Amino acid sequence: MLSIWRPDRAVRRSVVVLILVSAVLVGAGTVLDNWLLLSIGVWALISGVAVELVYRP
């Protein structure tokens, strides 16, 4: 069976990965009291939400 490339699946996967990475970074930044990890996690969350809002299949 041929697999069909679907860009909406790729975008959905990248959004989920960004949200998961942001959750890990925000959690680690909070536990370790590290502002750099916390801010990178927040920016990953913002970019994941922005990609989800901009790309509507």
Residue 10 confidence (pLDDT)? 83
CA–CA distance, 41 with 22 (Å, rounded to integer): 4
Segments making up each domain of the chain, as ranges:
23-57
Mean pLDDT of the chain, nearest integer: 88
The set of residues, in sequence order, having a beta carbon less than 8 Å from that of 26 and lying 6+ positions away, is 37, 38, 41, 42, 45
Report the pLDDT averaged over residues 32-51: 93
pLDDT band at 1 (very low <50, low <70, confident <90, very high): low
Q: Which residue has the higher pLDDT, 10 or 3?
A: 10
5: three-class secondary structure by DSSP: coil
Position 48 pLDDT exceeds 70: yes
Helix (H), strand (E) counts: the chain: 2, 0
Answer whether 41's CB lies under 8 Å from 21's CB: yes
Q: Which pTM value belongs to this model?
A: 0.78
Residues in the chain: 57
